[in-house]
Amino acid sequence: MLTRFGFKRKRTANYLPEIQEMARELFGEDVDLSDNTPLGKMIYLQAQQRAEDNEELEQVYNARFVDTSEGASLETNVMRVITRKRWIKATGEVIVNLDKGAKINIGDLFRTKYNVYFKALEAIDAVEDGNYRLSVEALEYGAIGNVEPNDISIIVNPQSGINSVTNQDAFFNGQDEEMDEELQDRYYESLGKLGSRRIESIEANVLDEVEGVRAAVVIENDTNVEDADGRPPNSFETVVLGGLDKDIAMAIFRKKGGGIRAYGSTIFTYTDNRGIVHEIGFTRASTVTVYVKVYIKKGNQFPINGDDLVVAQIVKYIGGTYNNELYPGVGMSKDVVCTKAEARVLSIEGVDDVRVEFSTDGISFEPRNVVIAFPEVAETDESKIEVMNLV
């Protein structure tokens, strides 16, 4: 039953004397209510059924609260702050050594010594002897696919011309579905961050939850006067690169506190289910296009598709699009550093030496860093990167 202290569940032992008393009022004080009589058995069954109904009512009541809910009810209770992490298959790249004419088909299998299987996501037709990079995906969902370097070493169905397989890098993006207890813990952890550092929470929500966002930063004006950059009192400005206006605005709205203005040059208007109109502002970041010349000295182990790997590493470091996939890169207001780009290229097998030169106009190239101001984000793509031999 519902009391001032919450729901207090009644059990069979609580209902039994109540129903027995009703029976005595109806049939007389001398009625036989022992367990051996038909009436006594019926009364016990009645008390047991009421207790089971009360247990279900208790579950309905508890479904309203994060601590006592589970499953779909728990997800509903925390959805304003976080969502449950779902099953994800681990993915990554392996290196396959192939003879000329050998083929890898989509779906071909490889495994670890402890029988974690991976399938090829693309086909390869070797044009000459050498090493080729191949994208693979775990057959099973979950963290079981998160393997250490060189764990994938066995070709499940050996074929002529396929000599070896290995993964140079660890796979770490496989994910188990979050248990109720883990979801509850993360919810309260998020609340702690939300209460103490709401700005970081807004920034993280835009980056994590909005598709297509490459960079985001939040600047707060928690004073009672307008700041030097024109932000109103008690406001914050979210500077974003990428993503749709509506998605960005709603990610901000879900995390911002009441009475705090979301300021910016782009305004999105949202009407809630009570008919209240909210204006959510944010500002679009500008991009600095970076052109790159990469001079490399190639060793004997340099792979057949090595030039493509060089381009991929540069795009992943700076940020931008490679092979129709968007990479965040260095992020908002972060300089593009020559030595860091060179380190990415040197991580490729067979690269003995490297020199990287940058340009912002595509004409004048120099081996010096590109300074990125606020609110700017560096950006490049495969058409702006040239790979040449180092003399």
What was the pLDDT predicted at 196? 42
Dig out the tokens for 278 from the structure: 């909210």
Angle between helix 71-78 and 180-196 (nearest 10): 10
What gap in Å lies between CA 342 and CA 203, rounded to an integer?
A: 30
Give me the amino acid identity at 318.
Answer: I
What was the pLDDT predicted at 194? 46
Bond prior to 375 in cis (omega within 30° of 0): yes
For tokens 């309203």, name the residue: 64
What was the pLDDT predicted at 275? 80
The tally of CA atoms less than 13 A away on the side-chain side of residue 218 is 24
Residue 158, by phi and psi: left (phi above 0), alpha (psi -120 to 50) or beta? beta
CATH number for the region 197-284 comes to 3.30.300
Phi, then psi, of 75 in degrees rounded to 5: -60, -40
pLDDT averaged per 10 residues in sequence order, the chain, 391 residues: 69 88 88 87 90 83 76 81 86 94 94 94 94 94 92 91 93 88 77 57 84 87 79 88 92 78 91 82 94 95 92 94 87 92 92 95 95 92 94 79
What gap in Å lies between CA 96 and CA 342, rounded to an integer?
A: 25
Helical residues (DSSP H) of the chain, grouped into ranges: 12-27, 38-62, 71-78, 180-196, 198-209, 245-255, 306-318, 338-346
| Per-residue burial over 260-299, b = 16 or more CB atoms within 10 Å of its CB, e = otherwise | bbbbbeeebeeeeeeeeeeebbbbbbebbbbbbbbbbebe
Residue 325 CB contacts under 8 Å (≥ 6 apart), including other chains: none
DSSP letter (8 states) at residue 371: P
Domain ranges of the chain: 2-62, 91-166, 197-284, 287-389
How many beta carbons lie within 10 A of that of residue 132, not counting itself? 18
| Per-residue burial over 311-329, b = 16 or more CB atoms within 10 Å of its CB, e = otherwise | bbbbbebbbbebeeebbbb
Give bridge partners of residue 260 from the DSSP assignment.
none
What was the pLDDT predicted at 226? 81
For tokens 């060189």, name the residue: 150
DSSP letter (8 states) at residue 224: S
What was the pLDDT predicted at 195? 44
pTM: 0.48
DSSP letter (8 states) at residue 211: T
- Cβ pair 262, 252 in contact under 8 A: yes
What gap in Å lies between CA 190 and CA 80, rounded to an integer?
A: 11
Burial of residue 1 (number of CB atoms within 10 Å: 0-12, 13-18, 19+): exposed
DSSP letter (8 states) at residue 366: B
Largest CA distance in the chain: 111
